[in-house]
Structure 1
């Protein structure tokens, strides 16, 4: 998948095939590049930054482009080519952590 005009959404996943590594939309059950099935070993992703968009880019008078992104951790605006924030090192595309533990339920008495 081309990264031009591409935004990672929560639940998107990286193909577990090390030769592929394609980023797939959350809705896919298999990789759209190599066809490998999504497994529990597939790394889930969440957006670590948000593209600033055309309007803010125009307001910056040439300093930023629409594909540059704002870090969700420190709000620094980074160039599109950066894979992590140059101020706080937050990845542009962060991996989701697996949650474990028991679920509390409330029962009626």
Structure 2
């Protein structure tokens, strides 16, 4: 974890906006209507049936369960550089750790607290 007041630039090849999009995508976990976190939706666009986690094929159309992708996209930096809850400042684009209420670069308030 960074000491207070220290921030890193985005990983090489990524802009602050791209990092923000990745962090937002990471925080938006698609949930099944059942509320069970590991149930999955059939990838067949003509089916889209929700299946229990234990099924390896769709219960309605027999389409194989899709391969599960890692939840956290690779940012190209060291593992654990950005974590769930970290936020991107809307004022300057700086990535801030989740425990910060204000941006350590421009002192803007965290968007969720505005």
Q: Compute the TM-score of the two structures, normalised by the length of structure 1.
A: 0.35
Q: Which structure's CA Rg is the greater one?
A: 2
Higher relative contact order (CA 8 A, sep 6+): 2
Give the number of the structure whose residues are more often helix, by fraction.
2
